Amino acid sequence: MGEVEQPPFVWQIRVYYEDTDAGGVVYHSNYLNFFERARTEFLRAKGIHQQDLRDKHKLIWVVLDMQIRFRKAAKLDDELQVTAEPTWVKGVRVGFRQRMTRVADGVEVATAELSVAMLHADNLKPARMPAWLESELTNG
């Protein structure tokens, strides 16, 4: 398994009313959206655009598994920093570690460990990552 060592990518978001439940707390499924957006922005910062992967290379990503730990509640108007950090690459799979913290006080809100797989867009069968893509993910 290829270990990856690079500093985490950091993306900032604000919690909007639409992200919360009736009590003004971020609804649990929206944490998934925040983590997903941070991974997308991590790829974009490396010049990897998911639309291009699909249209030009006929490749897509899917989440295989995810473990989330909710530490503290994020609330309406909180500014959050969400990290995305690849930790390993093996064949068609990439492991990620993510962390969400509140900007105002640095409190850890949630963490996630997950793996994603690359598939052929046309038949949804596993697809080995092109060398250029694996290099972008493993080299900071």
Residues 70/28, Cβ–Cβ less than 8 Å: yes
**Nearest-CA neighbor of 32 among 7, 66, 71?**
66
User: Distance of CA 2 to CAs 14, 83, 90, 97, 112, Å?
Assistant: 34, 20, 6, 15, 20
> If you count them, how many residues does the chain have?
140
122 is catalytic: no
Beta bridge partners, 117, equal 62, 93
Name the catalytic one among 19, 21, 78, 105.
21
Q: In this structure, what is the dihedral angle of CA atoms 131, 133, 139, 140, given to the nearest 10 degrees?
A: 170
The residues annotated with a catalytic role in the active site are: 21
